[in-house]
Amino acid sequence: MVSEHAAWRWQLLRDALAMLAAEPDEQIRCIDEAHPDEIALSFDDAYRFLPTLAADGLHPPNDTRARLDAIHKALTAMTSDHNPALWTYEAIRTSQRWTHLRGLARQAIAELPLTP
């Protein structure tokens, strides 16, 4: 049986992927008036629980784990660029980097089971 905490962490990951996979206007609506980096922070919070999920015996499928790692790597690169223009509503709508992230997230969430 999956613990309540493990189920919560799994759902946190699905929710973060759903926000990252959403259409640009939906992403902006989800963060309301917050800074666009909240989308990345939401994913990062969930991604950091992967070792804990693994300790609980919960592992995303291999292809999904590779996509999660690719999303993390892409978001880390965007942050490391120190380019504020990537963290605007306009960038969410028009940047190829955000488009690429949405594609990875859509693939990952399609592969990730609804429940652990």
Say which amino acid occupies 12: L
* Helix runs in the chain, H state only: 4-21, 24-31, 37-47, 50-55, 62-80, 89-94, 96-111
57 is written with which tokens? 């015996």
Q: Could you tell me which residues come within 8 angstroms of residue 93 by beta carbon, excluding any fewer than 6 positions away?
A: 24, 25, 28
Local structure of 5: helix, strand or coil: helix
84 Cβ contact list (under 8 Å, min separation 6): none
pLDDT by residue (tens digit) across 89-103? 999 999 999 999 999
Q: Tokens at residue 67, please? A: 């996509």
Residues in CB range of 57: below 8 A, 6 or more apart: none
pTM value?
0.94
Give the pLDDT confidence of 13-38 residue by residue, as tens digits: 999 999 999 999 999 999 988 999 99
The tokens describing 2, both together, are 């999956």
Kindly report the backbone phi and psi dihedral angles of residue 35, in degrees, each rounded to the nearest multiple of 5, phi listed first.
Answer: -70, 145
Q: Where are the domains of the chain?
A: 4-111
The rounded percent of the chain whose pLDDT value lies above 70 is: 100
